[in-house]
Copies of this chain bind each other. A is one copy, B any other.
Amino acid sequence: MFRHIVLLAWVAEATEEQKAAVEAGLKELPGVIPELLRYEIGPDAGVSPGNFDFAVVADFASVEDYMVYRDHPTHLGVIADVIRPILANRVAAQYSF
């Protein structure tokens, strides 16, 4: 399995509506990108100070399938329309397991 992880931090001015739009937008992706075998996302639970604000874990059969997701126009649309306007910081990694 090839796994892609992204942790996102929002700007202080991000509204609850804007944060909810990220989750709603990303939740559409498994329906349009069949390469997404597992897609578990959500806002940070708030139990640890200093955490980032939102987590994305996406599992694929291969690195090639990950790249389909990475470059998919619907995904890029969510990034441009609802993530980038409130993005303060982004950290990522991919690994096989």
Q: What residues make up the interface of A, taking CB atoms closer than 8 Å to B?
A: 2-3, 5, 7, 40-45, 47-48, 50-55, 57, 63, 66, 91-97
Closest 9 CB pairs of A and B: A42-B95, A55-B93, A40-B97, A45-B94, A91-B91, A44-B93, A52-B93, A51-B93, A55-B95
Provide the residues of chain B in CB contact with A96, threshold 8 Å: 42, 45
How many copies of this chain sit in the oligomeric assembly? 2
Cross-chain contact B7 with A53 (CB below 8 angstroms): no
Contact of A43 among B41, B66, B91, B95 (CB under 8 A): B95
21 contacts across the A-B interface (CB closer than 8 A): A2-B45, A3-B40, A5-B5, A5-B7, A7-B91, A7-B92, A41-B97, A42-B95, A42-B97, A43-B95, A44-B93, A47-B63, A47-B94, A51-B92, A52-B91, A52-B92, A53-B93, A55-B93, A55-B94, A55-B95, A91-B91
Taking CB atoms, residues of chain B closer than 8 Å to A3 are 40, 55, 57
